[in-house]
Amino acid sequence: MKALHQAINHFMADEKARAQYDGLVTKGQALQQKQQMSLPLTPEEISDFEQHRDAVLNNPVAHRFLDAQQELHEVAQSIQKYVSKTLELGRLPSEEELSTGGCCSQNGCGCC
């Protein structure tokens, strides 16, 4: 967790990395909005987005930030799975119960 925190802090202190990331997010949102309105994306728009994405991924500070963000997301999912299974069972789940997909799919209840 300390390494993840350091990666995030390093990213937040790096204006260039943040600007690259913010630009990528903005371009991605614009393309997504255009798709939701059933408007076609031009090859130039796609190429521009891909170039910005590559620039972000090639920036080591931004890349470590994205990795840290993914790891934190996975930690949050694990915690959520543990809490959900605990509430479902009314007790702490075993390792086996946690590894079965996190829902009562054997009963076909559709809770997943």
Tens-digit pLDDT profile for residues 8-55 = 999 999 999 999 999 999 999 999 999 999 999 999 999 999 999 999
Structure tokens at 54: 């590559």
- DSSP, collapsed to helix, strand or coil, labels residue 51 as helix
The DSSP code for 107 is G
Entry pTM = 0.73
Residue type, 9: N
Q: Are 27 and 49 contacting, i.e. CB atoms less than 8 angstroms apart?
A: yes
d(CA 33, CA 7): 30
